[in-house]
Amino acid sequence: MDISDLTARFGLLAVGLVAFAAILLALYGLAELASRRDRSRVVATVFLAPAVIFLLVGLVYPAVRTVVMSVFNGDGTEFVGFDNYAWAVTNPDALRTIVNTALWIIVVPLVSTAIGLVYAVLIDGRRGERTYKALVFLPMGISFVGASIIWKFVYQYTASGEQIGLLNQVRTWFGADPVNWLNTAILNNFLLMVVLVWIEVGFATVVLSAALKGVPTEIIEAARIDGARPAQIFWNVTVPSIRSAIIVVAVTVFIATLKLFDIVRAMTGGHHGTDVLAHNMWDQAFRLGNDGRGATMAVLLFLLVIPVVIYQVRNMRRQELEAR
Amino acid sequence: MSTETQAPEQRAIGESRGDRIRRVLTSRVASIVALLIAVLWTVPTAGLFISSLRPEDDIRASGWWTVFTNPTFTLDTYNYVLYSDSQGGGLIRNLVNTVVITIPGVIVPVAFAAMAAYALSWINFRGRNFLYIAIFALQVVPLQMALIPLLSFFSQGLHIGDVTIMPSWELEGVNTIVQVWIAHSIFGLPLAIFLLHNFMRELPGDVMEAARIDGASHSQIFRKVVLPLVTPAIASIAIFQFLWVWNDFLVGRTFGGGEATRPLTAVLGDMAGTWGFGWTRLPAAAFIAIIVPLVVFLLLQRYFVRGLLAGSVKG
């Protein structure tokens, strides 16, 4: 790396930071002026302006544009109606993508929450609970790309000679033939899901474990004295007590799963029948240069989160009413 | 997180022998399952770390577990991927990109979010609730919805009909990093506003009231009362955003321009995707990208967990 590369980058950083500081100062100055005259509307505007402008220009307007683009052809020159949508539900590859996404959003939240819950219950109050938690939590600090590389080595396959991938090595130790995991259709989807589950279980464990601490020990004690078995206590006392935390975890993982791009990109590139909406959207628009189809995939993705948005907003309004 | 409940085994009194056996058994099984999960969650990472320290020929020939019988370690691969001028090397440049992207990518959205969250929680104005709910809902909108138009916004500007509202940004070379800053700032805002709003709303109203009676203006209250009180919250949101930006692939790959200006994770993602020549250098390259967020994460886990719980328990 040349020294000029370095100065160019850090120079840009310095300029950027100075510019940002200047913007902040100007905003505070404006707010101060407005405050002195007791114009709280103006103060609110100044405080909100940067965020609102960013969100309007960078998220709201583009989202609307994307919806419009989805009814145009690949380079946006010709109106095609719902052709792109028809393509999405008839083309075998596109259909495969939709089916895979459906699989992902069912399996990953369910499995992550279940493992996280079981693990949180198992380590609750155990000696070394913190260490147990930290070990499982660790993958949350690793990028999806990093995790994909980690697991790609676990799944690695060599046709002849010694196996380098742990999974195939274990198979050959038991006398079975090695498998080219990532090329084996349908199964490879689940192997990719393992990577996301591996990351999300830490999140589930931490949130659910905190919720478990809030369950009064008297209830569990009472159930135990009444002769309830551990499994009964788990299903009839523990799970209902932390129900809302479980839902929150499942919903959060659901959204993360829906937006998942990195793992598919880094592990299979969407080949061998492993494509999902969030990745196919990118592939269509930026690799194959078909903005119309890419936009259509993005809109389908958005349609899938709308129920979550409605649920969340209703939830929040209810909480606000209760708080009043 | 710090309150450890007493282990249930210590509290069982007056149980029959059958109960006792059953309890010890379930506790055994529980231990084994917990241990198994802990091991499964650690071994893959450990394997990659060991691989990153092995000579490339060894990586090609045998699995990382063979180091226990045949330990040979080297730092050559790290040296190559960071500094070599040959193919697959010189990643130090992308590491610097990541640093240059991450610093404003964290500071800008957190600062703007703090201002917005203050206005949404402590300034009365019409439409406040609607605005808050709109921002809250934006949290869930997949950023895929914004990618294509936002990229064309940077490269072609903004036109409505024939009217040019914003000319093309014409960013080239290193300057394309500005696009990545802005994209990260936009995408990080909704969650940061939501979390900070949660924290700020919890602040006692009397403190604000007292400050206002003393003649403090909104901007003074924001700087002198609210910001110091929510510093832990800001820390946890900054860690979130840091992890997200540092670990991001999609935004860096889409807005980062050519390979020379892309962040490390974006380059790694492509390297892993093609798995071509030089895959034996991936463990070292990946570990360079993984180690910084991992250390930050381990050191500041407490703040991270606090933010996580505040965001999820209420949301």
Total tally of structural domains belonging to chain A: 2
CB contact under 8 A, A146 and B217: no
- The structural domains of chain B, with segments of one domain joined by +, span 8-74, 92-314
Q: What is the pLDDT of residue B268?
A: 93
CA quadruple A286, A291, A295, A297: dihedral sign:
negative
Does the beta carbon of A23 lie under 8 angstroms from any beta carbon of chain B? Answer: no
CB contact under 8 A, A207 and B313: yes
CA-nearest residue to B311 within chain A is A248
Give the burial string for A293-321 (b: 16+ CB within 10 Å, else e). Answer: bbbbbbbbbbebbeebbeebeebbeeeee
Q: Inter-chain contact B308–A299, Cβ cutoff 8 Å?
A: no
Pair A295, A260 in one domain: yes
pLDDT of residue B14: 55
Reported confidence tier of residue B15, pLDDT bands at 50, 70, 90: low
Strands B163-166 and B158-160: antiparallel
Cβ contacts of B218 on chain A, cutoff 8 Å: 31, 35, 40, 43, 47
Say whether both A312 and A223 belong to one domain: yes
State the pLDDT at residue B6: 43
Contact present, A253 and A169 (Cβ < 8 Å): no
pLDDT of residue B214: 87
pLDDT band at B312 (very low <50, low <70, confident <90, very high): low
Q: Residue holding tokens 């130790």? A: A173
**pLDDT tens-digit map of B118-136:** 999 998 888 899 999 999 8
- pLDDT higher than 60, residue B10: no
CATH number of the domain that A224 lies in?
Answer: 1.10.3720.10
In contact, B105 and B245? CB cutoff 8 Å: yes
Give this complex's ipTM: 0.91
What are the tens digits of pLDDT across the range B283-301?
999 999 999 999 988 888 8
Q: Residues A213, A276: one domain?
A: yes
Of B61, B144, B185, Cβ closest to residue A162: B61
Residue B309: pLDDT band (50, 70, 90) is: confident
Q: What's the pLDDT score for residue A76?
A: 84
Residue A75 lies in a domain: no
CB A79 within 8 A of CB A71: yes
| pLDDT recorded at residue B307 | 77
A72: helix, coil or strand?
strand
Residue A230 lies in a domain: yes
Asked if residue A157 and residue A190 are part of one domain, the reply reads: yes
Q: Is B63 left (phi over 0), alpha (psi -120 to 50) or beta?
A: beta
Residue with tokens 């050519």: B258
Q: Is B96 on the interface with A (CB under 8 A)?
A: yes
Specify the higher pLDDT residue, B108 or B218. B108
Does B249 contact chain A (CB < 8 Å)? yes
Domain termination residue (choose one: A18, A37, A69) = A69
Domain contains A26:
yes
Q: Say if residue A132 is in the same domain as residue A230.
A: yes
Look at B148 and A291 and tell me if their CB atoms are within 8 Å: yes
Which residue carries 């009194």 as its tokens? Answer: B13
How far apart are the C-alpha atoms of A69 and A289, rounded to whole Å? 13
pTM recorded for the entire structure: 0.91
- B140-196 pLDDT, tens digit each: 888 999 999 999 888 888 777 777 777 787 788 889 999 999 999 999 999 999 999
Confidence of residue B23 (pLDDT cuts 50, 70, 90): low
CB contact under 8 A, B45 and A138: yes
- All residues of chain B having their beta carbon less than 8 Å from the beta carbon of residue A270 are none
State which residues of chain A have pLDDT below 70.
1, 323-324
Q: What's the whole-number average pLDDT of chain B?
A: 86
> A271 and A139 in one domain?
yes
Say if residue B8's pLDDT is above 80: no
Residues of A in contact with B22 (CB under 8 A): 229
**Looking at the domain assignment, is residue A80 inside a domain?**
no
Distance of CA B132 to the CA centre of its chain: 24
- Same structural domain, A197 and A97: yes
Structure tokens at B140: 């869930």
Residues B46-96 pLDDT 10s: 999 999 999 999 998 889 999 998 888 999 999 999 998 888 888 999 999
> For residues B283 and B52, is the Cβ–Cβ distance under 8 A?
yes
pLDDT of residue B18: 66
| Percent of chain B residues topping a pLDDT of 70 | 90
A288 and A144 in a single domain? The answer is yes
Answer yes or no: do A193 and A287 share one domain: yes
Which pLDDT score, from 0 to 100, does residue A83 have?
94
The pLDDT of residue A178:
92
Q: What is the pLDDT of residue A234?
A: 87
Closest CB from B1, B243, B297 relative to A210: B1
Q: Are residues A315 and A264 in the same domain?
A: yes
Between CA A121 and CA A135 the distance in angstroms is: 16
**One domain for residues A119 and A261:** yes
Rounded Cα distance, A222 and A231, in Å: 15
Q: What's the confidence (pLDDT) of residue B9?
A: 45
Fold of the B92-314 domain: MetI-like fold (1.10.3720)
Full residue range of the structural domain in which residue A17 is found: 3-69
**Do A41 and A99 belong together in one domain?**
no
